[in-house]
Each structure stands twice: as structure tokens, then as C-alpha cells.
Structure 1
């Protein structure tokens, strides 16, 4: 088996909900955005903080990962004025060949700006084939990063995601292609593969889970729920870990933990693939420190 002289380090953060929120135009505050704006001004601005996001990213960059994955919700209400600052923030994290992002439900908050995520972040979405679309495939070191989009506009009070038949069919073809390659397959999707909240679920998760049972991947990374999460799902050659992470800009509040990100040390030895998870989180002193280390594979 192939051996790597040093583990490949993949960093994962999610749901930065880039603060502060630009002042909206009156014409933008209709329907779902109106409710979202009220929620921001009454609640979310208190715990979605730019200084938190900056501290987390500074620590992440100090760890010098080989690649960074950002699994969606870069913006809040998908207003036109939110996308340029979010792109500038992503550019500060790293260049497009070193950072992969996917959209979340807040990036597709309303139909009027549904297209803006793909336009704004195209270099960070483009697959190795030069195509902007989902699923996309990027090979980085020993990993094959497979990006999905579960981001679709939804009615007020709903935050569901959907992949759709076409994307699932294309994903099956990608996994068929990778079956003959010696790569560590990482699936990126914003919504978790299982949710108890009907209004936040991935609507076609059963179809995705059935596909993963047939083909398998080594790791699934997601956001959306703003909590630390580890779930295991049946794959072709064993159970698949699906890892969620808190919002990258959040102070601890209620049952939601403070901002955190994960590092995955990926390599191979005579026993096969190895993957170690390291969790780094913001503490009460606004310092980022390691809080957990676990062997996943």
C-alpha cells in the first residue's frame, strides 16, 4: 500500500454567517428576509461575532493545514451587499486551490439571489474538470473532495435542503469513477445526513444514505446544526463517520457551543487508511485551544 511521509491535514469549518450584517434596503425586507432580519437584530447579532470568526481563522491558519473546507452559510440573508464581503473574507483564508467551499441554505435564502453564490465563489467551487456545478470533484493530496449542494430557497421558517435526482445520479457516477482509485473520499454537504427537526432536514437523505451504502466514502463533513456532531452510517466497506461542527462565528449560547473547527490528519499505513480528528474551539478567554482528539479510521 502507498505510504505518505506525513499526514495530509484537512481543516473543516462551517456556518460563518459573516458578521456584521449590512444595512438592508427597505425593498429587500419582504417575506422570509423580513423574518430573518428581525431574528438577526433581536438575537443573532449578539452571538454571531466577527471577532470570534477572526480569532478562529487566525488559529486555523497558524495550524497550516494542507487544505480547508468550508461547508456553507457564508452569508445570512443573501442580500446583494453580503456577497462581496464574504468573498473578501474567503480570499483572506486562502487561494481557491487551497480552499473548497459549498453553499448552505442561507446562501440560497431567497430565489432572487439564488444564483449569486455560484457567481461570487466560482473559483472555490470549480472541480478539477474546470466545471462549476455539483457534484464537483477536487483531488488534493491523498483525498478526493466531493462537493454537493443541498442549498435551495425555502419558505419562511423552513431551512430544509435538497440534492435532487440529477445531483444524486451524478454523484453515483463520480463514486463509480473513484472506485478504481486509491484515494480517501471526503463528501462535503451542508445539511446533516440525519436530522430530528423536520424544518431543517435534508429531504432526500434516505436516497443519499442508500447511495453511500452501495458505494461508500471515508468521511462526510457538514454544518447547519451549529453543534459538535459525530454520526456513523453504513458504507460499502464499513461504517462512515459524518462530522458536524459549530458555527465558526458563534459565542456559546443556550445549547449551542462556541465556535470551533476540525482538523483531520489523513494518511496510510500497512493497515490501510488512517484519519485522526482534532477539535479546536474558542474558550471563555477568546482563545482557541484543542478540546478533543479521536481516531476515526
Structure 2
């Protein structure tokens, strides 16, 4: 029997913000900076994130997926801080990353992107070639397919977009996997369905149409900072799409405290099985105690 454990966390929103200069607060960054100072800095705590990552490591997953929003305002210093944090989580071989909208709060430079590049390179990427999406990574019985919905947007907007070129490349890549027997996991920052127009994936309909004719077994996303399980029509039946709270969050309003997903994926020779466990903080008291527990266990497939 083939077996593998995949951990999934998202939206760490690493703090504190690095030193910045006044000119760096032009445009949308000024709004984000005010939001950070007025409350987000207290919601997203590094000690919470560190405790969560320590628990992930204690579970000894075979691979870790991170679905974006490592940083907050896309300041140059934030990219360097996030690279150091990624190194603490694991090696580029053992950790796969896709970016989020906060990672492109303003359009990042090539130098900034290169800080994280080796966590987003496909197995067939040529040395020196520019980073591109989608990418494919094979890890044991898994094929991880990473796409980027990360684009700069206007003030008070947090939408994502794949674009026709990326969608066409994804279609071609998944077509080449039609006879591949591995378990296919799509990684994306934005959920494929959202009630909030200012946070939606704007070309979700095109992606959903693509998934109806291509083989994907599981979709992992972040962005909404909540526990989420949605089901979408796929080539061979319904596809589960799983979201997760921010990995650094304390409970606030309707948002739950930090948690992560843990998937036990097995193949018995004839079919796949996927068990989903959620581990995290039950409430503020659990955060104060530094206590992580299993919150949920579900058989998805």
C-alpha cells in the first residue's frame, strides 16, 4: 500500500514589519500599514505561528504545502524575513509554496521573487529560467500542481486572477497527467468560490470548467482565514477543496484561531483514500497555554 502524509498551512502574515521609509507607504501600502498598526499586528502573532509549525514538525509529514500570504505589504525586507521563516519550516524539496495577494501587495521585483523561488520551482524547471506558473512537482505518490492567483489590486480589493495563459498551461499540464496514476493536488491561494466580491478569484468559472475535464483529486487554498470544505465537479466525481485559518491568528470576530490541515493519503492498488485531520488551537485559552489539539477528522475520499 502506498501512503503519504501532507501538511497544509496558509496565511502566516509574518510580523513584525521591517523598518520602512515614508516613500514606501505610497498608494495601497498606506492603507495596509494603518490596518496593521490598528489591529492586525495583534491578531497575527509569531509565537502562535511558531507553536503551530513545531506541531507540524512533530507530526513528521512527508511534505508541507503553504498557500500564500507569507507577508503583509510586500516590503523588500519582508521577503528576506519570509525566506528565513521558510528555511525553518523545511527545505525547498520538502516544502511547496504558492504566493498570495499580500505577497503581491505591490508588484514584487525579480530580486524579491528570487528569495522564495526554489520553493516554487517545478521538477522540470531549467537552471536560470524565469519562475513560471503553473509548476508540477512529483513527491512520491503525489503530484503537486502550483498556480498563482497573486496579482496587485487596487485599494480595498483582494481579488485574485489566473489569466488565460496560465489557465491554458494548466490545461496542457493536466492533460499530460491523464494517464499518470499519482494523486493530483492543486495548490492555489484564493478559494474557487467566495461570497465576497472584493476577495474572489475573478476567473474562477474558467478554472472550474477546466477541472470538469481534467483529473484533480484535491484542492488546497487559503485567503479566507477560516475552516472550509467545498466540493466541485471533477472528471471522476466531486473534488474536495479545503481551506484553513491563518497560521498565526488569534481568534477575532468570526475568524477562528490558527490551525493547519493534515492529509493521510493512501492507495490500496485500486483506489485512493484521503483522510483529513485538522490540528490547531481550540480557543484563546488554548493559545495562552500553547496547546494544540486535533479539532476534526474526516474521511474525504
Residue in 1 that maps onto 2:63 = 67
CA distance in 2, matches of 1:156, 1:10: 35
Is residue 40 of structure 1 aligned with residue 44 of structure 2?
Answer: no
Which of 100, 108, 123 lines up with 2:96 in the alignment? 100
Question: TM-score of the superposition, structure 1-length normalised?
Answer: 0.96
8 Å contact kept, 2:261–2:279: yes
Is residue 227 of structure 1 aligned with residue 202 of structure 2?
Answer: no
User: For residues 232-251 of structure 1, what are the structure 2 equivalents within 5 Å?
Assistant: 232-251=231-250
Gaps of 5+ in 2: none
Which of 72, 80, 99 lines up with 1:84 in the alignment? 80
Is residue 289 of structure 1 aligned with residue 293 of structure 2?
Answer: yes
Residue in 2 that maps onto 1:166 = 165
Residue in 2 that maps onto 1:52 = 48
Aligned-partner SS, 2:213 = helix
RMSD: 1.1
Residue in 2 that maps onto 1:130 = 125
CA distance 1:23–1:133, shift in 2 (3 Å)? same
Give the count of matched residue pairs. 292
Give the drift of 1:231: 0.2
CA distance in 2, matches of 1:199, 1:66: 35
Question: TM-score of the superposition, structure 2-length normalised?
Answer: 0.95
Aligned-partner SS, 1:276 = strand
CA distance in 2, matches of 1:204, 1:41: 33
Gaps of 5+ in 1: none
